[in-house]
Amino acid sequence: MKSYYDRPDGYIESIQKGTAGVGRFRGGVYYGSGNREAEIAKLKKEIETADAIIIGAGAGLSTSAGFTYSGERFEKYFSDFAARIGIEDMYSGGFYPFPDAGMRWAWWARHIYYNRYIDSPRPVYKDLLDLVKDKDYFVITTNVDHQFQRAGIEKNRLFYTQGDYGLFQTVDGKNGMTYDNEEWVMKAMEAQGFVRDDNGVFQIPEDGHVSMRLPADLIPKTPEGMDVTNNLRADMTFVQDEGWYEASANYARFLKSHENGHVLYLELGVGANTPVIIKFPFWVMVYDDPDAVYACINYREAYAPKQIAAQSICIDGDIGEVLNELRRLY
């Protein structure tokens, strides 16, 4: 397997920075000034004047964009799985012990398609990139839905740390390779009976009948015939391929080039599941740079350690709505 040790690894370096420094943040948190208009105006100024912007995006950003895993979207496309085997939402469905490969891959074809190969219901990603397009920026994200790419981000400005719904890998990951799955997904959707609408998006047919099982010849394999799984970080078998390592190196280089100065660390929708990847490193890097600013936009989870309160902007709310308010100020 190719060695990647000859280039920096932003993933490991930032996690190490965050875990080593987070212990200094004790004794309370800061939730912002309480004046939403003032916080948004302050964020606008920071976006305009920052030397660089580092965006950290979590699941809350995609939720704001309309990629919800329960409710109407789930009921529309997965009601048969709910009725027959009791799956309650797309998230829990990803862990369901399906009785056979045909049913498991029918589920995953739908899950991947509706969370990777269509545009988000709301243009939140495009609105975000429109705000920073003229700045020197970089994005690190734990999201796996490819929406930054679909919105038009330049490849060298993005690090997707946890994988991509659009990629397969071998089950054991030992060959270090990933495989594009778009062609397979489209065939699998057609095989289940989905039909394209006028916009080319697969929908439930008028008679409402779709299959919950794929035929044996559509169970995905590598070109060599090996079993595959999704390229999503779940355990030590996760494949970090050439593209992943290059993106990690790009992130490390961007951080290195902006260690000091007026840097805006813009955190969007990052929760408490994996704080060591984005949240903790952002806090530490702001603490270490008196000219840096930390901005957190999140629904009911917008806060900062009190130690960086003077350098922080915290806005509790829907990310898409906040971005719209920002856009109206221009």
- Confidence at residue 231, expressed as pLDDT on a 0 to 100 scale: 98
Compute the distance between CA of residue 177 and CA of residue 169 in angstroms, rounded to an integer: 6
**Under 8 Å CB-to-CB from 308, ≥6 apart: which residues?**
30, 283, 286, 287, 294
> Letter for the amino acid at 72?
E
Q: How confident is the model at residue 219 (pLDDT cuts 50, 70, 90)?
A: very high
- In the chain, what percentage of residues exceed pLDDT 90? 95
- Confidence at residue 1, expressed as pLDDT on a 0 to 100 scale: 44
Orientation angle between helical segments 124-132 and 319-328, nearest 10 degrees: 40
Cα dist from 114 to 94, 141, 295, whole Å: 14, 19, 30
Render pLDDT for 100-136 as a digit per residue (tens, 0 to 9): 999 999 999 999 999 999 999 999 999 999 999 999 9
Q: How confident is the model at residue 316 (pLDDT cuts 50, 70, 90)?
A: very high
Q: Indicate the average pLDDT of the chain.
A: 96
Q: H helices of 193-293, where?
A: 242-257, 279-288
- Confidence at residue 215, expressed as pLDDT on a 0 to 100 scale: 98
Residue 324, pLDDT > 60, answer yes
Mean pLDDT of 78-99: 97
Q: Encoding tokens for residue 59?
A: 């699941």
> Letter for the amino acid at 84?
R
Q: How confident is the model at residue 330 (pLDDT cuts 50, 70, 90)?
A: confident
- Confidence at residue 3, expressed as pLDDT on a 0 to 100 scale: 55
DSSP H or E run through 150: helix 147-151
Q: Which of 22-31, 71-80, 247-256, 278-287 has the lowest mean pLDDT?
A: 22-31
Q: Encoding tokens for residue 263?
A: 């840097």
Render pLDDT for 150-199 as a digit per residue (tens, 0 to 9): 999 999 999 999 999 999 999 999 999 999 999 999 999 999 999 999 99
Alpha carbon 82 to its chain centroid, in Å, reads 26
Nearest in space to 48 (alpha carbons), one of 124, 129, 128, 135: 135
Q: Where exactly does CATH 3.40.50.1220 map onto the chain? A: 10-64+122-164+240-328
3-state secondary structure of 141: strand
DSSP H or E run through 158: strand 158-160
Cα dist from 71 to 78, 95, 249, 313, whole Å: 10, 18, 39, 32
Q: How many Cα atoms within 13 Å fall on the side-chain side of residue 264?
A: 24
Cα dist from 112 to 70, 91, 105, 222, 262, whole Å: 15, 12, 10, 18, 39
Spatial contact of 293 and 313, defined as CB atoms under 8 Å apart: yes
Give me the architecture of the 10-64+122-164+240-328 domain, per CATH: 3-Layer(aba) Sandwich (3.40)
Residue 5, pLDDT > 80, answer no
Q: Which of 24-28, 202-206, 283-287 has the lowest mean pLDDT?
A: 24-28
- Confidence at residue 200, expressed as pLDDT on a 0 to 100 scale: 97
**Number of CB atoms found within 10 A of residue 302's CB:** 22
Cα dist from 50 to 135, 181, 283, 310, 325, whole Å: 8, 39, 17, 16, 19
Q: Which residue has tokens 């990951």?
A: 173
Burial 198-213 (b: 16+ CB within 10 A, else e): eeeebebeeeeebebb
Phi–psi pair at 92, nearest 5 degrees: -65, -30
Mean pLDDT of 202-222: 97
Compute the distance between CA of residue 287 and CA of residue 207 in angstroms, rounded to an integer: 59
Compute the distance between CA of residue 4 and CA of residue 246 in angstroms, rounded to an integer: 9
Burial of 244 (0-12, 13-18, 19+ CB in 10 A): buried
Mean pLDDT of 86-97: 97
- Confidence at residue 274, expressed as pLDDT on a 0 to 100 scale: 87
Q: Which pTM does this prediction carry?
A: 0.95
